Structure 1
Amino acid sequence: MAALRRPTHRKRSVTERTVLAGEAAADAAHSAVAADGSAPVTGPARRRGLPFLDREKGGRAELPPAAAGDPQAAAFFDCDNTLLQGAAIFYLGLGLYKRQYFTHRDVARFVWQQAWFRLHGAEDPGHMAEAQDTALGIVAGKRVDDLEVICEEVFEDVMAGKIWPGTRALVQMHLDAGQRTWLVTAAPQEAARIIARRLGMTGALGTVAEAVDGVYTGRLVGEPLHGPAKAAAVRALARREGLELERCAAYSDSSNDIPMLSLVGHPYVINPDTALRRHARAEGWRVRDFRTGRKAAKVGIPAAAGLGAAAGGTAAAMALYRKRR
C-alpha cells in the first residue's frame, strides 16, 4: 500500500469517517489494479451466455449474450463467513502471534472472538472493535511490506483451506462471464488484496491503515470498512471503474451489509445470519447456505438482467467447481 499523507486529526462526524474510509479503500483498490496492470475484465467472455439453474421453473436457462463481458457490471463479495469460513482478521491475528507480535492474553481473546463468531455466524461489534484496537496497537511502527509478507504466509497456512467451495464457484462464474469481481471486507487492505489475488479476483476493498514513509502510524484512515463504510467504498469504486451499480451483484452473510446489498441491482445472501435471512425473505433476495446440506431458503427470484442469473445458479456453480478440481 502506498504511503499516505498524515491527515489533520480533528474530530470527524460518523458520516465523514464513513465516507473517508470508503474513498480511501476505493483509491487503494483502484491504484493497486492499475499498478498490477490488470485488465478491466479477468475472465473470458462467453458470447453464447452462461448456463444457470432457474429455481422457480426447475430448469436451465442462459444469460443473454449481452451479459458476457459487460464492462459496467461487477460482483462484490463480502469475505468473513461469505467467502471464508470464519473471520480473516482473527486468522491474521493468530499469524501475528506466532511471529511474536503480541502476548498470550491477546491470542486468547482472538480465539474466544473467533469461536463466538463461528458459533453464532454473526459479527459482534464489540469484538470487532477490540480486534481493531489490538491490531492497530500491534502494527504501529511496523513496516507495511513486512505485514504484506505475513499476510501471504497466513493465507497459505490457514485461509486457503477455509474458502467456501460454493462461494468460490460463484466467483468463478462471474469471471467466466467476463465480469470483474471485488472482495469487500473490514480486514486490512493488505490482507484483502492477497485473498483476492489468490482467488483470481480483480481486486479488493479493505480497511486502510494510515502509513507514513511505509510505516504504520497506528491510526486508520476514516474507520473500519464495515456496514455503511462498505457501501461507501463500493459506490466510490464504481465511480472510478465506470460501473453501473444497477447491473452489479453483491454477496454477504451479515445484516451489517444490508447497505451494500441494497446498493446493487442484484443482491444475494450467502450463509446468512438470522436478521439478514429475515430481511432477504421480505425483499425477495436469493439465499444460499453452504454451511449444511440443507437446501437454500426459498425466496423470490428477481429478474436476472444478465448478471444476477450467473450469480444465482448455485447448482451450476458447484458443478463448475467440481469440474475444475
Structure 2
Amino acid sequence: MASNRRVTISTNVHGHTAGWAEVTTPPVPPDSRTAAFFDIDNTMMRGASIYWFARGLAARSYVTTGDLARFAWQQARFRLLATEHAGDMSRARQAALAFVEGWRVNDVERLAEEIFDELMAPRIWAGTRRLAQRHLDAGQRVWLVSAAPVEIGRVIAARLGLTGAIGTVAEIVDGAYTGRLVGDLMHGPAKAEAVTRLAAVEGLDLARCTAYSDSRNDLPMLVAVGRAVAINPDGALLRTARRRGWEVRDFRTGRRAARIAVPSTAALGLLAGAVSAGLALHRRRRTA
C-alpha cells in the first residue's frame, strides 16, 4: 500500500523559502472486511474488453476486420432488441468453449498483456479508476467482476494495481485450454453468486462492500452489497438507481445516443465464435 506523503515548506522571518522536507505518514491499515467490486465493460473502460482483445488479434492477423464488422453489427442488433434469452446464452456458452480450445494459457496471457497496453489502457475511464484508487487508499481490496475470460480480467487488474479479477473460467489441462468451462459464464446472477462466495472465503462483510456497474444485467451483484453505484448507466439501471437512491456517476461525453454500447452476453458469444474461427484458420496456416 502506498504511503500518504505531505510536503512541508519552511520559511524564515522575511518570508523567503528556507528549505523543504517530505513527511511520510504511515500507510492506511488494510480493511479486511470491506471490498469494492467493479464491472469492466463500460464501467472501468470504454467499450467491451473482449472486443478490444479481438481488435488486437485482428491486428496480428488472428481474425479479420470482416469478423469485427460482423460482431459490431450483431452487438448493435442485440442491444436494440434486448435479446438475452436462454438460447442466446447457450450459443454464447458454446462459442466461449470454441474460443479457447487448444490454446496455451501463457500465449493468451501474453497476448492479453500486449493488447491491454496497446488498446485497452487508453480507454480506462479516469473517473472510475480514481474511484477504485479511493478504495485502495482506504485499505480496501478492489476486484474486477466481468463476463470476459478471467485471464483478460486478471491482466487488467494487474496493470491497474487492483487486488484481482473474477471472470469466466475455462478448464485447463497441462497448460492448455480443453474447450470446457469451469462453471458458467460470469454474467447476471453468476456475478452475485461469485461475489458472495468470495466474501465467505475472504471474510468480507457484504453490507460494508460497494459494487459498480453500468448495466441492468448486474442488478443481482448491485443489490448483494451494502452500497451500489451506477457508472455510465444504461436506461434501465438509471431508472433503478433513481428509484433506490443509488449514487450515479457518468463519465461519458457527447450525446447519450452515441455512447459506446455494452454487448449482450449473446453478442459476446458471437464475437467469441468469430475469434475462434480466426484462431483455427491461423493455426492451420501456421502448420501448413
* TM-score normalised by structure 1 residue count: 0.64
Amino acid at match of 1:192: G
Match of 2:125 in 1: 164
1:71 is the counterpart of 2:17: no
Kindly provide the CA deviation profile for residues 65-84 of structure 1, in whole angstroms up to 9, marking residues without a partner as x. Answer: xx974210010001000111
2:108 aligned residue (147, 164, 167): 147
Query: Which stretch has the larger CA shift, 98-107 or 277-286?
Result: 98-107
1:200 aligned residue (138, 146, 161): 161
Size of the alignment, in residue pairs? 231
Tell me, yes or no, if the aligned pair for 1:231 and 1:259 is still in contact at 8 Å: yes
Q: Can you give the 5+ residue segments of structure 2 that lack an aligned partner in the other structure?
A: 6-27, 256-288
Q: Can you give the 5+ residue segments of structure 1 that lack an aligned partner in the other structure?
A: 1-41, 47-66, 295-325
1: distance between equivalents of 2:176 and 2:83? 30
1:262 is the counterpart of 2:217: no
Higher strand share: 2
Match of 1:92 in 2: 53
Match of 1:319 in 2: none
Kindly provide the CA deviation profile for residues 258-315 of structure 1, in whole angstroms up to 9, marking residues without a partner as x. Answer: 1000000111111011111111111111111111389xxxxxxxxxxxxxxxxxxxxx
1:274 aligned residue (231, 235, 240): 235
2: distance between equivalents of 1:89 and 1:123? 19
What percent identity do the matched residue pairs reach? Answer: 58
Match of 1:223 in 2: 184
Amino acid at match of 2:235: T
Tell me, yes or no, if the aligned pair for 2:35 and 2:140 is still in contact at 8 Å: yes
Match of 1:287 in 2: 248
Q: How does 1:1-325 map to 2 (within 5 A)?
A: 42=1, 44=3, 69-103=30-64, 105-113=66-74, 125=84, 133-292=94-253
Aligned-residue offset at 1:185? 0.5
Larger Rg: 2
Give secondary structure in 2 for the equivalent of 1:75.
strand
Tell me, yes or no, if the aligned pair for 2:36 and 2:141 is still in contact at 8 Å: yes
* TM-score normalised by structure 2 residue count: 0.72
Amino acid at match of 1:174: H
Give secondary structure in 2 for the equivalent of 1:187.
strand
Kindly provide the CA deviation profile for residues 49-100 of structure 1, in whole angstroms up to 9, marking residues without a partner as x. Answer: xxxxxxxxxxxxxxxxxx9742100100010001110001111122223333
